[in-house]
Structure 1
Amino acid sequence: MAGAGSNIIQEIQHKIDIVDLISQYIPLQRSGANYKGLCPFHEEKTPSFNVSPEKQLYYCFGCKEGGNVFHFVMAMEHISFKEALQLLAQRVGIDLDEHEDKGEITTLLRIHELAAKFFQKMLHDPRNKRALEYLKERHISSESLELFRIGFAPDNWDSLLSYCLKKGIPLSLLEKAGLVAKRKDGSGFYDRFRNRIIFPIQDFQERVVAFGGRTVSEDNKKVPKYLNSPESEIFHKGSLLYGFPQAKEGIQKEGWLAIVEGYTDVIMCRQFGIQPVVATLGTAFTSDHGKWIRRFVNQVYLIFDSDLAGQKAALKSITILLEEELDVKIVLLEPGMDPCDFLLKYGREAFEERIYKGMDFLDFYFDSFAKKPEGANLSSLSAKGKFLEDMIPLLKQMRNPLVLDVLVQRISELLQISPQGIYNKLQKSGGKTTKSNSSFQRNPESRFKKRESKGPKPKKEELFIFQSLFRLAPQIHEILEVFPPSQFEYPLFQKIVDKLKDWNPSWTPNPVEILSPEEQQAIAPFLMENETGYKKEYSLPMVFECIQLLEAKKLQKELEHYKILQKQAYQEGNMEELQKITQKIQDLRRDQERRKLTLQGKRLR
C-alpha cells in the first residue's frame, strides 16, 4: 500500500458516497442541502454534525472534527490512513495490490499466510492427533481453533521448509520471515517451529505477521516452553498485541480493555464471552502499546499472573499507561492462577466481578507495600518515607506534567503529607518537577481549563469566494481569472486555490477530490461554515460583488496610506514628492472606477 498514489485515493473517494458511509454508523436527517445528526465523537443533545453530499465532507460545529471519508473511518475505527484506505478499497472492490509495487513486504505477508494455512492443516492431520488432544485437554474449543487460526508444527526438521520450497519460495525469504534457521555447521536450514502448538500473530489489519509456538514435548526442559518468531520487516513485537483483531469489536462495545500475559488467557476469555482482552507478546509493555490503546479506550485493566514476576510486569506497564493519561486498574486473581485457570474453575461471573473490582494502581502499590515488614505501620514517618522512596522511580519516569501533578496529589492524600514535600524529594533525587506545582496545590482545577484557539480568521468576503469555488465548480476558472490565487490573503486559501487553478472537470466533477486527504480535512470547517454574512444563494454575481467589496476595502487602505504621505510631504514643503503622491492617488481612483465597471459588467451577464 506504500505505493498507493493520489490517483487510487481519488478513485476510492469518488466511488464512495459519504452520506451512505456515515449513515451506516449514525442516523442522518436531511437539512437543506446537507445532512445532520448527533456527533459520534462527542456527547450532545442537539445535532451539530453536518455532512455535505456535494463536497463529500463532514464537520461538527461542536467538537470541530471534520474531513472526508478516510478521516471518518480513521476516527470511528481507530485505524491509520493506510488501514482506512485498505478498508474502503475493499468496500468498492478495488485491489490495492494491483496498484502498488510488489515489494518484499507483500511477499513476506503472503509467505506467513501460506505458513498459517499449513500449520492449521497439520493440526487436523491424523498423524498429529496428540496436538489436538492437548488442546482439548486445555479446554480450547473447535470454534476458538478457527477464530484464532491455531495450528501445529509437526515434530520434523523440515516439514514447513519442504512445503514452501515446493511452492517455489526461496530459502532467503523463508529465513527473512523467521520460519527457518541455518544449521550451526552451515550445512542447510531447518524449521524454526517443531512439535509446537502454533498461535498466529496478526497485526492490526488482521494479517499474519509472525507466530508463537508452545511446545507439547513431554521433556520440555530441553527446549523453551514458548518460542516466538524473530523480529522482521513486518513484525515488531513491541508494537503488537495478541488477539486484538478478535477483541476489537468488544473493545468498541465495552469501552475498556484488559491486558493478560498468555495466548490461552486471551482465548479462554473469549470462550467465556469476555471479548475486550489482549496479551503482550512475551515482551515488556512499550510506549507503542500505550499509544495504540489510547486510540480506543480510557480504561485499562492489567490482569497479570499473581506471582512476583507477574506483579513486576504489572508495575512496569503502569508507567507507560499513565503517560497516555489512561485510567489503570490492577486485577488480582487467586495465588498461582492465571486467567485461564481462574475462568475454568470459577466461571465468567466471578472473573468479571474481579475485573470490575479492579484496584486503583496507587492502592495496589500501597497495599503491596503494607504487606512488607517495613510497611507494617504506615502512620509512622519512617514507613511513609520508605513508601515515598519506592514511588520516586515511578514519578521520575513521568514526562507528562499533568499526570505527575495528579500522582503527587494522590500520594500526598494517601500519606497525609504536603505535595510540596513530595516535589522536594523528587527534585533532590534528580527528577523533574513541573513548573506549576505550587499553583497546582492552590487551584488544581485551573490546570485543566480548555484554551480557546486564537488563530486568525479569514475575511467573510474571502470565505464566501473560497466556498463559491466549490459550490460553483464549473465556473472556477472564470472566478480565478478575476480573482487569482495570489489575491487571497488567508494562507490556507491561497495554497488550496493555487491547486484548483489546474482542476479539470474531466478528471472528477468534485474539485475537492484533487486535494490531498490532509488538505481536505483542513478546509472542511470552512466549506461547511454557513455564517459568511451572506444570506443569498451562491452565484457568480454574488462572487463578483464580494470581490468588489474586498478590492474597495483594500484600495481604501492604500488611499489612507498615501493621504498620510501626502500630508507629510506638504508639511515638509517637498513639492516634487507631493506631486508624485497626488498623481498616485488619482491613478488608484481611476483604477478603482475601471475595475468597478468591469465587475459590474460581469455581474450583469
Structure 2
Amino acid sequence: MRIDPETVERIKQAAAVADVVGDYVTVKKKGANYWACCPFHGEKTPSFSISPSKGIYKCFGCGKAGDSVRFIMDIEGLGYGEALRHLAKKYGIDIQEEELTDDQIVRQNERESLLIILEYAKDFFKKQLIESPEGKSIAIPYFKERGFSDSTLQTFDLGYSPESWDIFYKTAIKHGFSQEIIEKAGLVTQKNEEGKVYDRFRNRVIFPIHSVAGKVIAFGARILKSDTKNQAKYLNSPETEVYHKSATLYGISQAKNEIRAKDICYLVEGYTDVISLHQAGIKNVVASSGTSLTVEQIRLIGRFTQHVTVLYDGDSAGIKAALRGMDLILEEGLQVNLVVFPEGQDPDSFVRKVGYEAFLEYIKSESKDIISFQANLFLKEAGDDPFKRAELIKEMVQSISKIPDAIQRSLFVQKTASLMRLDEDVLLAELNKIHLKNLKQRGGAGANASESISNQTWQEIQEIIEPTGQAATETQSNLAYYQESECIRLLVSFGHLEISPSKAPGVTLMQYLIEELEGTHFQTPLFEEILEICKAEFNQHRFPAPEFYLHHQNEEIQKFAIDISAGKHSLSDVWKDKHDIRVKLEDEMLEDLAFKNVLRLRKVYNDQHLHETLEKMESFQGDADTMNALLLDFIHYKEIQKNISQELGTVIEK
C-alpha cells in the first residue's frame, strides 16, 4: 500500500528537520539556522546547515541536501516509504494508505514477503541453536570456543541450521509460507530432476546479514563437521530482490552509530573478526561479506565516515587483497590506512589474545598509509636493484593517481620522493602520464577522450601537458545549461508570485514563462523534467511555492531546489537599519528578470542554430539550391541574433 498524500504531509510537518538530524549529530543554533558537523563526511568545522523555516538541510562541504525524509533515507539506508514509516512511528502518526497499481502491489508484496520469510528463518535458526540437540552439542560449543558470549549471540542473531535435509522447508510450509517465496529468499535449493527441495544451509552455524536499517536480508553459514566431503566451508545466500552482495557490509547495522561517533571504520575480512572485535568493545567494524571489496561497499562506509583502516591477515593473499582494497578506497576519496597482523594472526585471534587496549595500541602503532606500507613491504626486497625499485615506484605512483584530491596527491608525491630519494618532477611526470592514459582509455580506442569525460577535466589535463596560457571559452552547450538553469531557478523560487502586480495583476511568473516557452524543449533532462512538472501544475490551475520543490520526492529536483535556496550568507539588517542602504530584491524585479532570461535563452538556442548552419556551409559539397537554402537560414539566424542583442542592450554581432 502507498501512504496517502495527506498522511505524508502530516509526517513531514511533525518531523522537524532539526530534531530529526539532532538524533544523530550535535546541532547548535546560530542565527535563524542550526549548524552541525556533517554526518555524511568527516569534518571538524561545521558546514552542515539546517533551516527550520524551510524544513531543509544542506552540507556546504559534501553537497548533501534534503528534508527530514531524505535525511532518514540517506542515514539509515531506507527507501522513501520506509523512511516515512520510520518517522511516523517516531512521532506517533497513524499511517493511512491508498491502493497501488497491480504491478506495484506485486513488487511491494514480494519484497515484504522476502523480508518476512527471512525474519522467520532468523528466528528459526536461533531457536535451533538454543533448543535442538545438535545446536546444544555442536553449534553452541563452537561459538563458546570462539569466546562469544550469550549477549553477543543475541546482538548478531547467530543461529544453527540442523543436518536434516528439509526441516526448515517443511516447518516454513507448515506455517503458511509458499515454496515460491522460500526459494526466492534463497533458503532452499533443488538437488535432482524430480525437483525435490532441500534446505540450503544444512548442518551449519548461521550468521544473519542485516541491512543498514537492521532488517535481515541474507545469511552466511559455516560448516562445522571436518569430515564432510565436497561441501564448501562457507556458504552465502544468493542474490535476491532484497540482497545485493556487492552493496552489503556485514555488521553495518551494529556498527553505524559507533563509526559515526568515532569517525573511523575498521574494515576486516570475516564474520568472526567483526563479532570478536565488537564483543571486545571495538564496535566500529564491518566486513566485506565474503567478497572482494567493491565501490558500493566503500560508498556505504563513506556515508558514515571518511576514514577507513583496513585490518587484514598477515599472509600474502591478505596483503594483496588489502592493497587492492586500498586503491579502491583512495579512488572514492576516503582516507585509508592499513594494519597487517603478525603471521598466523587475524583480527579475531589477535584481539582475543591481547585484549581491547593492547589491540587499539597495536593499530595505532602499526597503522600505515598506502605509500609507507608499500615502502616498508617492498623496499627491502628491492634493495639496490634499479629495475625492482623502478617497479615499486611505479606501483606507488599508480596508487597516488587514484586520489581525487589534488592537495593530498601533492603531499603523497612529496613523501614518495623523500622515501625513494627522487626528484618530485620525475614523479609528477609519471603521474601525469597515468592520468592521460586513463583519460584516453575512458574515451575508447581511437576516440577523442574529451568526448567521454567532462570538458573541465580534459581542459585541466591538456593544460598540464600542453599549456595554452588562456582559459578555454565556454561552449554553446554550457551557455544553454546556464540559461535553462536560470529559467528553472526563477520558476522554482518565484513561479507562484505575480510577475508585475501593477501592470498585469493576477499573472504569475509561472504563467508568463510557460506561455513564452511554448514549444521549447530544454536540453538538460533535469530542467526539462521540472518544466514539464510546472506545465502539469499550471494546467491544474496550481502555482506551487518553493516548498513544493524543496520537499519533492525526486531527489534531483529536491537537491536543485535546495541548492538555489540555501546560502551560507544573507544580507544584514544593519545595512538597512543603521546605514540606510536599500538593496532591491529579486521578487521586486521579476518582470525584468523573466524578460531578459527568455531573451538570453532564445539567443543561446539561435546561436546554436547559427553555428550549426555555418559548419554545414563550410563543409558543404552539393547543389546550388541547397547552398542557397543554407545561406538564407544563416541570414535568418543572424537577423534574430542582432535583434535579441539590441533588446538586451549588448554588443551587436557583425
Specify which of 373, 385, 408 is matched with residue 364 of structure 1.
373
Please say if residues 470 and 512 of structure 1, whose CA atoms lie closer than 8 Å, have aligned partners that are also in contact: no
1:436-515 map, 5 Å: 480-481=506-507, 483-487=509-513, 498=535, 501=538, 515=552
In the alignment, the residues of structure 2 paired with residue 457 and residue 430 of structure 1 have an alpha-carbon distance, to the nearest angstrom, of 32
In the alignment, the residues of structure 1 paired with residue 119 and residue 328 of structure 2 have an alpha-carbon distance, to the nearest angstrom, of 32
Question: How far is the alpha carbon of 1:117 from its aligned partner?
Answer: 0.7
Tell me the residue number matched to 2:16. 17
Tell me the residue number matched to 2:51. 51
Question: How far is the alpha carbon of 1:396 from its aligned partner?
Answer: 11
Tell me the residue number matched to 2:421. 416
Deviations 1:160-179 (A, max 9, x none): 01111112222233222221
Question: How far is the alpha carbon of 1:82 from its aligned partner?
Answer: 6.3
Specify which of 166, 175, 189 is matched with residue 197 of structure 2.
189
Change over 3 Å in CA distance of 1:240–1:86 after alignment to 2: farther
Change over 3 Å in CA distance of 1:406–1:238 after alignment to 2: farther
1:517-596 map, 5 Å: 517-518=554-555, 519-524=557-562, 526-527=564-565, 531=571, 546=589
In the alignment, the residues of structure 1 paired with residue 390 and residue 594 of structure 2 have an alpha-carbon distance, to the nearest angstrom, of 72
Greater gyration radius: 1
What is the total number of aligned residue pairs between the two structures? 530
Paired residue type of 1:312:
K
1:109-120 map, 5 Å: 109-120=115-126
Please say if residues 83 and 205 of structure 1, whose CA atoms lie closer than 8 Å, have aligned partners that are also in contact: no
Question: Structure 2 length as normaliser, TM-score?
Answer: 0.67
Tell me the residue number matched to 1:348. 356
Please say if residues 86 and 96 of structure 1, whose CA atoms lie closer than 8 Å, have aligned partners that are also in contact: no
Tell me the residue number matched to 1:203. 211
Please say if residues 47 and 60 of structure 2, whose CA atoms lie closer than 8 Å, have aligned partners that are also in contact: no
Change over 3 Å in CA distance of 1:21–1:117 after alignment to 2: same
> Are 1:121 and 2:127 an aligned pair?
yes
Tell me the residue number matched to 1:88. 87
1:238-387 map, 5 Å: 238-357=246-365, 358-372=367-381, 375=382, 377=383, 379-387=384-392
> Are 1:106 and 2:104 an aligned pair?
no
Deviations 1:107-135 (A, max 9, x none): 22221111111001111114121211221
Deviations 1:439-467 (A, max 9, x none): 879x9xxxxxxxxx99969999x999976
Paired residue type of 2:269:
E
Name the SS of the counterpart of 2:337 in structure 1: strand
Tell me the residue number matched to 2:68. 69
Tell me the residue number matched to 1:149. 157
Question: How far is the alpha carbon of 1:415 from its aligned partner?
Answer: 1.9
Tell me the residue number matched to 2:652. none
Tell me the residue number matched to 2:34. 37
Paired residue type of 1:123:
L
Question: How far is the alpha carbon of 1:547 from its aligned partner?
Answer: 5.7
Paired residue type of 1:277:
V
Deviations 1:540-580 (A, max 9, x none): xx99965677699999x9xxxxxxxxxxxxxxxxxxxxxxx
In the alignment, the residues of structure 2 paired with residue 483 and residue 352 of structure 1 have an alpha-carbon distance, to the nearest angstrom, of 61
In the alignment, the residues of structure 2 paired with residue 398 and residue 509 of structure 1 have an alpha-carbon distance, to the nearest angstrom, of 40
Change over 3 Å in CA distance of 1:504–1:395 after alignment to 2: same
Change over 3 Å in CA distance of 1:310–1:510 after alignment to 2: closer
Please say if residues 36 and 46 of structure 2, whose CA atoms lie closer than 8 Å, have aligned partners that are also in contact: no
Please say if residues 318 and 361 of structure 1, whose CA atoms lie closer than 8 Å, have aligned partners that are also in contact: yes
In the alignment, the residues of structure 1 paired with residue 347 and residue 45 of structure 2 have an alpha-carbon distance, to the nearest angstrom, of 41
Please say if residues 186 and 237 of structure 2, whose CA atoms lie closer than 8 Å, have aligned partners that are also in contact: yes
In the alignment, the residues of structure 1 paired with residue 339 and residue 272 of structure 2 have an alpha-carbon distance, to the nearest angstrom, of 18
Please say if residues 48 and 61 of structure 2, whose CA atoms lie closer than 8 Å, have aligned partners that are also in contact: yes
Change over 3 Å in CA distance of 1:431–1:56 after alignment to 2: closer
Please say if residues 307 and 334 of structure 2, whose CA atoms lie closer than 8 Å, have aligned partners that are also in contact: yes
Please say if residues 78 and 295 of structure 1, whose CA atoms lie closer than 8 Å, have aligned partners that are also in contact: no
In the alignment, the residues of structure 1 paired with residue 497 and residue 226 of structure 2 have an alpha-carbon distance, to the nearest angstrom, of 73
Question: How far is the alpha carbon of 1:501 from its aligned partner?
Answer: 4.4
Please say if residues 339 and 363 of structure 2, whose CA atoms lie closer than 8 Å, have aligned partners that are also in contact: yes
Name the SS of the counterpart of 1:227 in structure 2: strand
Deviations 1:169-211 (A, max 9, x none): 2223322222111123535111111121100011223221111
Paired residue type of 1:38:
W
Change over 3 Å in CA distance of 1:410–1:486 after alignment to 2: farther
Change over 3 Å in CA distance of 1:43–1:165 after alignment to 2: closer
Tell me the residue number matched to 1:176. 184
Question: How far is the alpha carbon of 1:255 from its aligned partner?
Answer: 0.5
Paired residue type of 1:37:
Y
Question: How far is the alpha carbon of 1:524 from its aligned partner?
Answer: 3.4
Change over 3 Å in CA distance of 1:45–1:142 after alignment to 2: closer
Name the SS of the counterpart of 1:293 in structure 2: helix
Question: How far is the alpha carbon of 1:23 from its aligned partner?
Answer: 4.9
In the alignment, the residues of structure 1 paired with residue 234 and residue 435 of structure 2 have an alpha-carbon distance, to the nearest angstrom, of 40
Question: How far is the alpha carbon of 1:73 from its aligned partner?
Answer: 3.6
Unaligned runs of 5+ in 1: 444-452, 537-541, 558-605
Deviations 1:66-112 (A, max 9, x none): 53222344565576656644533443446699876243222222211
In the alignment, the residues of structure 1 paired with residue 3 and residue 484 of structure 2 have an alpha-carbon distance, to the nearest angstrom, of 34
Please say if residues 9 and 85 of structure 1, whose CA atoms lie closer than 8 Å, have aligned partners that are also in contact: yes
Question: How far is the alpha carbon of 1:390 from its aligned partner?
Answer: 5.2
Judge which range, 231-240 or 159-168, deviates more: 231-240
Paired residue type of 1:57:
I
Name the SS of the counterpart of 1:481 in structure 2: coil
Please say if residues 420 and 438 of structure 1, whose CA atoms lie closer than 8 Å, have aligned partners that are also in contact: no
In the alignment, the residues of structure 2 paired with residue 307 and residue 315 of structure 1 have an alpha-carbon distance, to the nearest angstrom, of 13
In the alignment, the residues of structure 2 paired with residue 301 and residue 71 of structure 1 have an alpha-carbon distance, to the nearest angstrom, of 29
Tell me the residue number matched to 2:629. none
In the alignment, the residues of structure 2 paired with residue 283 and residue 263 of structure 1 have an alpha-carbon distance, to the nearest angstrom, of 12
In the alignment, the residues of structure 1 paired with residue 402 and residue 413 of structure 2 have an alpha-carbon distance, to the nearest angstrom, of 11
Tell me the residue number matched to 2:630. none
CA RMSD in angstroms, aligned pairs only: 5.0
In the alignment, the residues of structure 2 paired with residue 65 and residue 301 of structure 1 have an alpha-carbon distance, to the nearest angstrom, of 24
Question: Structure 1 length as normaliser, TM-score?
Answer: 0.72
Change over 3 Å in CA distance of 1:174–1:137 after alignment to 2: same
Change over 3 Å in CA distance of 1:502–1:40 after alignment to 2: farther
In the alignment, the residues of structure 1 paired with residue 165 and residue 399 of structure 2 have an alpha-carbon distance, to the nearest angstrom, of 50
Please say if residues 69 and 80 of structure 2, whose CA atoms lie closer than 8 Å, have aligned partners that are also in contact: yes
Paired residue type of 1:181:
T
Tell me the residue number matched to 1:578. none
Please say if residues 26 and 37 of structure 1, whose CA atoms lie closer than 8 Å, have aligned partners that are also in contact: no
